[in-house]
């Protein structure tokens, strides 16, 4: 049979248990949650440096950026080396071209007339034979000498024509100061004034370019005849 003291102890113990049960939880405190822990792990995995101190994060080198810059620098160095190599090759090619052009120019200056000279040798041979024949005949075979000289003359004309050397047409043509050189004027009513009536020296052109003008005598109107004579010198 319990006494009053035992009843008081039981009452106090019950009151104490009620106080623990009736006490309200403090504001802001949450119990452990699996969903919250999973979210924190995912956030830490997405931002691996989030949990590190700020000084450590700032001191960490940006490896991908440096690797990209180093790769770009390497590419630019390779392009520069290739451009320098191309420049050296172009300089060498240009130097070789310049030397080759200089050799060709010297060869043209020295050996350009080679074909013309080779063709003229036949004319020289024919003229030489005519002279030898005339000496052997002691001047008695003038007809043979004339034929030999005529043959050499025709051969010379053929050689000049082959090498595009053309005689300037002057006789009976109007005077042209670009290709004719007037040596004198004569009064001549049979032709129009400034007509070439005589060729003193033939002129020639090479591929249409003037080599030597034709020296000619030009007609003038009889009314312009001076008292000193029919012919007067001109330029």
Distance CA 228, CA 231 (A): 8
- Gyration radius from the chain CA atoms: 60
- In a structure prediction context, what are the per-residue pLDDT tens digits for the chain, which is 235 residues long? 455 455 555 555 544 554 444 444 444 455 557 777 777 777 666 555 545 555 555 555 556 778 888 888 888 999 999 999 999 999 999 999 999 999 999 888 888 888 888 888 888 888 888 888 878 877 667 787 788 888 888 998 899 999 999 999 999 999 999 999 999 999 999 999 999 999 999 999 999 899 999 999 999 998 744 544 444 444 4
Q: Is residue 151 part of a domain?
A: yes
Q: Is residue 178 in some structural domain?
A: yes
Q: Are residues 182 and 213 in the same domain?
A: yes
- Number of domains, the chain: 2
Structural domain including 159 reads 116-163
| Rounded alpha-carbon distances, angstroms, from residue 89 to 46, 63, 230 | 54, 39, 74
Same domain flag for 188 and 174: yes
Residue 48 phi, psi (nearest 5)? -70, -25
On whether residue 137 sits in a domain, the answer given is yes
- Among 163, 186, 220, identify where a domain stops: 163
Asked if 196 and 217 touch (Cβ cutoff 8 Å), the reply is yes
135 lies in the same domain as 187: no
Are 179 and 201 within 8 A, CB to CB?
no
d(CA 179, CA 203): 8
Q: Angle 114-136/142-162 helices, nearest 10 degrees?
A: 180
| pTM strictly above 0.75 | no
Q: Is residue 208 part of a domain?
A: yes
User: Do both 172 and 227 map to the same domain?
Assistant: yes
Answer yes or no: do 170 and 229 share one domain: yes
Tell me, yes or no, whether 149 lies in a domain: yes
Asked if residue 183 and residue 133 are part of one domain, the reply reads no
């Amino acid at each position: 049979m319990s006494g009053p003291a035992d009843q008081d102890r039981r009452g106090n113990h019950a009151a104490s248990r009620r106080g623990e049960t009736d006490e309200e939880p403090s504001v802001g405190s949450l119990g452990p949650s699996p969903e919250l822990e999973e979210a924190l792990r995912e956030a830490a995995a997405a931002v691996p440096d989030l949990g590190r101190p700020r000084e450590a994060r700032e001191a960490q080198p940006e490896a991908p950026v440096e690797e990209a810059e180093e790769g770009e620098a390497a590419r630019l160095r390779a392009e520069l080396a290739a451009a320098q190599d191309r420049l050296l090759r172009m300089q060498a090619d240009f130097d070789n071209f310049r030397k080759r052009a200089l050799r060709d120019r010297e060869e043209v200056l020295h050996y350009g007339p080679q074909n013309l000279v080779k063709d003229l040798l036949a004319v020289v041979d024919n003229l030489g034979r005519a002279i030898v024949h005339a000496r052997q005949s002691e001047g008695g075979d003038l007809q043979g000498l004339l034929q030999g000289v005529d043959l050499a003359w025709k051969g010379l004309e053929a050689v000049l024509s082959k090498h595009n050397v053309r005689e300037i047409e002057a006789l009976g043509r109007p005077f042209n100061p670009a290709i004719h050189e007037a040596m004198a004027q004569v009064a001549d009513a049979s032709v129009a004034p400034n007509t070439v009536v005589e060729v003193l020296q033939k002129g020639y052109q090479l591929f249409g370019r003037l080599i030597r003008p034709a020296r000619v005598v030009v007609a003038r109107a009889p009314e312009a005849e001076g008292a000193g004579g029919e012919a007067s010198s001109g330029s």
